[in-house]
Structure 1
């Protein structure tokens, strides 16, 4: 089950980068995110009604769900979309690995859970692999206008993702069902998204582009409803530190799609990088602990 949940997250989130590229530039990032999660919340709510799941949740859990909605869904995704306007995908993919380190640290500080050495070792190998995979693109990079702003947006996004992971793990540890948590967290997040959008004067005019609509539906139904459902279930089963390793594996899926549709040319360094990522994943998930005497 853990492997299946991990694979679902990797495959879907490895393909959502295509959808995001069809949205960036058409509307403000916070508007695109708001529409995406609006569809997701409606779908989750309808599913809960159809399966007769309870909507009841203790009052103190609503406070935590509100925090998850603000931090994980609003800040993380709004700043991630904004960062993609200034940073090339290669750099963003490498920087995203920092989520693992932030998560491990915050998990220790806020939840008083142990630092799992295998996760740190696996994440470091994975990071080296990602650098090797995207190294050809770094040689072509030049100083971009707004690069510093993009880096700042990315940092806020990744720190928000790590804190959101910790808050979500805490809620799940206390017995809140995954569907219920996602429904309320995403729903509360919409208040912040739409509130900021209206106050900032963002345009809510819907783009007249079929590809935008198709991308929006894919991101909402697969990227938010299905993938986040699987991710939260995985987080509940193995912890936020191990679950976060998804961010190092799904760029491989993105490269595979780029090979099929954009003619990406593989190099020896990229192949070795993929091998490092996979070995790092095996270590992080505890598959090689006995052989390497990590734990």
Structure 2
């Protein structure tokens, strides 16, 4: 069962990057993000309501939930969606895989939880990989497109990591993670709605088959089913082992991107992608337990 859950998360999240690509063009990115989480709110809220698990948060939690909504379910995806206008979806997914390393570094910064040396070494490899992506993009004649795309992807990834830190603070309250995610999505959809109105965009998207298909996949599978499956996996095998999904899903995303988008990478960009994935692998290598010698007391 654990293998099925693990494979489900990797596949669902690996395909989500191409689903984002399907929503680009013809519809502003803020409108696409708004509808993704508006539909997710209806689906997740309906599930919580039907199962009798929907709970009201305390007033103390509201600012934290609003912050999580901004970082996890709105502004971060606004940057991620925008980055795919400059880069293939598979490349963006690899940059996003750095979120696991950023989480470890932010835990050190905000909660004084010092990371293992493997995480620090993986972070250095990740930074070097991003530098190669930028250099490789320039070599292919992409001009300013590659740096802008990588910058937006890094911004979205950083916001996502900050959202994880906020979710750690929210976990101290007695609300439950599914409810916290629901209210975070509510705030995220509201924030994107305000952004759509302030920019004078229409809420009516381009109703093509590909756009609607991407929306339904992202809302139902990537945002609701994928997240709940991931939570089940965390409960079964632990957060450290479940986190392997974050750097295996880009492998699927890269393959899909190459097949459907005709993505081409220069030698430097390919080296950068490999270096980022290797950095993630190094960061997630489990430390071998040290066997303590048994002391025999003299009788």
Compute the TM-score of the two structures, normalised by the length of structure 2.
0.77
8 A Cα contact 1:91 1:138, kept in partner: no
Cα deviation, 1:210-258, whole Å, max 9, x if unaligned, reads 121111101110011112233456668845x876654322111224445
Q: Offset at 1:92?
A: 2.6
Partner of 2:24: 24
Q: How many residues align?
A: 288
Distance 1:159 1:282, change over 3 A: closer
How far, CA to CA, are the matches of 2:202 and 2:16 in structure 1? 24
8 A Cα contact 2:119 2:282, kept in partner: no
1:223 equivalenced with 2:222 (yes/no): yes
1:143 equivalenced with 2:142 (yes/no): yes
Q: Which runs of 5+ in 2 are unaligned?
A: 265-269, 292-299
8 A Cα contact 2:48 2:54, kept in partner: yes
Stretch deviating more after TM superposition (249-258 or 62-71): 249-258
Partner of 1:79: 79
RMSD: 4.0
Q: Offset at 1:34?
A: 0.6
Cα deviation, 1:253-274, whole Å, max 9, x if unaligned, reads 2244457767999xxxx8xx88
Partner of 2:294: none
Partner of 2:108: 108
How far, CA to CA, are the matches of 1:41 and 1:143 in structure 2? 38
Distance 1:173 1:118, change over 3 A: farther
How far, CA to CA, are the matches of 1:245 and 1:126 in structure 2? 16
Partner of 2:176: 177
How far, CA to CA, are the matches of 1:232 and 1:69 in structure 2? 18
How far, CA to CA, are the matches of 2:203 and 2:284 in structure 1? 42
8 A Cα contact 2:84 2:149, kept in partner: yes
How far, CA to CA, are the matches of 1:124 and 1:148 in structure 2? 19
Partner of 1:96: 96
Aligned mate of 2:288, from 287, 290, 293? 290
Partner of 1:186: 185
How far, CA to CA, are the matches of 1:264 and 1:142 in structure 2? 14
Partner of 2:197: 198
Q: Offset at 1:46?
A: 0.8
Look up the SS of the partner of 2:73 in the other structure.
helix
Distance 1:175 1:284, change over 3 A: farther
Q: Offset at 1:88?
A: 3.5
8 A Cα contact 1:123 1:281, kept in partner: no
Look up the SS of the partner of 1:82 in the other structure.
helix
Look up the SS of the partner of 1:290 in the other structure.
coil
Q: Offset at 1:118?
A: 4.2
Partner of 2:34: 34
How far, CA to CA, are the matches of 2:198 and 2:173 in structure 1? 35
How far, CA to CA, are the matches of 1:49 and 1:58 in structure 2? 18
Mark the structure with the bigger radius of gyration.
2
How far, CA to CA, are the matches of 1:184 and 1:245 in structure 2? 27
Q: Which runs of 5+ in 1 are unaligned?
A: none
Q: Offset at 1:124?
A: 6.5
8 A Cα contact 1:178 1:233, kept in partner: no
